């Protein structure tokens, strides 16, 4: 099997620099840009291009028959919520190898879903682990305890298998994804990455129209990092998102997700959640590459999500 040190132009010092930057696999090199590699490894862009080309050649990246490509779907895994209506809406649950965005106003259950899916990922297999990136001080161990008890899992064991980090700004948030990639290169038992919420820091740091382009470029790069991890390591990536009201909306729900088209196009699945009637929560599958738009109502209880 070809290793980094076997690629042309990659010596021991370069290997160390690439691994420190989270580019320790052929696939991570193959999907990187020459600028990114030249920056982290101190190489010229021409040498970086040769390294990328060699990595792609070894991995045999390129076109293949659609029938062969379709077999990759056999590796897709799903994490369900345990709520029949919600899981039916998603044809079984949240897919691996994709970014699922859940957006809605405060109190709509986004953070509850984040905690629930983390625990649901752990009960699938005794070796499964989870990663939770907290940008709004929302992670609560007592909620993990509730869901763990409801699913027959030891709360202490559950908490020991969840890696949590608090992100304090956008740079820190993006740096944590680099750290995640390093973790995955040595331990591929992590089943899910949760970012709660995706846009909180981007929204607070980039204020006004003059900073919009910079914000969107940075957000775009961040989501591409997440999608790469989802694809390479076959993980479920769940991001929650804040919303804003559209002042020019006269009919229907005026709620709109933060991040515009950048978040919309980079998210494989988009789910909108809002408080429903009689204490229930309404969820709608807004966008999916293979599923029709649909919706459901459910209840959030101490033990998890339940059908109405």
Contact predicate 121/79, CB 8 Å: yes
Domain of residue 48: give its range.
4-59
What is the rounded average pLDDT for all residues in the chain? 93
Q: Can you tell me the distance from the alpha carbon of 45 to that of 276, in angstroms, rounded to the nearest whole number? A: 54
Same domain flag for 96 and 28:
no
Residue recorded with tokens 């738009």: 293
Establish if 68 belongs to a structural domain: no
**In CATH, what number is assigned to the domain containing residue 128?**
3.40.50.300
Collapsed DSSP state (helix, strand, coil) of residue 155:
helix
Where does a domain end: 13, 29, 59? Answer: 59
Alpha helices in the chain (DSSP H): 12-20, 26-30, 34-41, 45-59, 66-71, 84-89, 110-122, 141-150, 155-160, 170-186, 200-205, 212-232, 260-266
Contact predicate 299/308, CB 8 Å: yes
DSSP 60: T
Q: What is the tens place of the pLDDT at every residue in 19-46?
A: 888 788 888 888 888 998 999 889 899 9
More confident residue, 249 or 63: 63
Contact predicate 276/297, CB 8 Å: yes
Establish if 55 belongs to a structural domain: yes
Number of domains in the chain: 2
Establish if 124 belongs to a structural domain: yes
Establish if 54 belongs to a structural domain: yes
Establish if 286 belongs to a structural domain: yes
Mean pLDDT to the nearest integer, 154-182: 96
How far apart are the two ends of the chain, measured CA to CA in Å?
A: 52
Same domain flag for 133 and 187:
yes
Same domain flag for 202 and 292:
yes
Same domain flag for 158 and 216:
yes
Q: What is the tens place of the pLDDT at every residue in 179-231?
A: 999 999 889 999 999 999 999 999 999 998 899 999 999 999 999 999 999 99
Same domain flag for 93 and 28:
no
Establish if 64 belongs to a structural domain: no
Q: What is the phi/psi pair of residue 225, to 5°?
A: -60, -45
Among the ranges given (86-100, 149-163, 245-259), the one the predictor scored with the smallest mean pLDDT: 245-259
**In CATH, what number is assigned to the domain containing residue 46?**
1.10.150.20
Among the ranges given (28-37, 78-87, 247-256, 269-278), the one the predictor scored with the smallest mean pLDDT: 247-256
Q: Can you tell me the distance from the alpha carbon of 66 to that of 191, in angstroms, rounded to the nearest whole number? A: 27
pTM score of the predicted model? 0.85
Same domain flag for 37 and 78:
no
């Amino acid at each position: 099997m070809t290793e980094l040190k076997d690629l042309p132009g990659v010596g021991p010092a370069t290997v160390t620099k690439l691994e420190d930057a989270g580019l320790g696999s052929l696939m991570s090199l193959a999907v990187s840009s020459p600028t990114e590699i030249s920056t982290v490894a101190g190489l010229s862009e021409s040498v970086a291009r040769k390294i990328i080309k060699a990595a792609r050649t070894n991995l045999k990246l390129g076109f293949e028959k659609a029938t062969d490509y379709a077999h990759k779907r056999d590796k897709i895994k799903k994490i369900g919520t345990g709520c029949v209506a919600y899981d039916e809406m998603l044809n079984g649950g949240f897919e691996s190898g994709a970014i699922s965005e859940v957006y809605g106003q405060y109190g709509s259950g986004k953070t509850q879903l984040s905690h629930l899916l983390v625990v649901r990922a752990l009960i699938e297999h005794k070796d499964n682990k989870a990663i939770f990136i907290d940008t709004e001080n929302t992670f609560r161990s007592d909620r993990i305890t509730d869901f763990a008890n409801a699913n027959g899992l030891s709360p202490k064991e559950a908490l020991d298998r969840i890696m949590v980090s608090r992100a304090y700004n956008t740079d820190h948030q993006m740096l944590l994804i680099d750290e995640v990639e390093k973790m995955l290169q040595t331990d591929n038992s992590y089943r899910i990455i949760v970012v709660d919420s995706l846009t909180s820091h981007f929204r607070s740091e980039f204020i006004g129209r003059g900073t919009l382009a910079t914000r969107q470029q940075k957000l775009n790069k961040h989501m591409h990092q997440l999608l790469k991890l989802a694809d390479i390591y076959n993980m479920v990536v769940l991001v929650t998102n804040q919303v804003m009201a559209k002042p020019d909306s006269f009919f229907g729900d005026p709620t709109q997700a933060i991040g515009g088209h950048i978040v919309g196009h980079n998210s494989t699945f988009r789910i909108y959640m809002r408080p429903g009637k009689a204490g229930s929560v309404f969820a709608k599958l807004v966008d999916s590459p293979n599923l029709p738009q649909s919706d459901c109502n459910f209840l959030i209880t101490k033990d998890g999500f339940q059908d109405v």
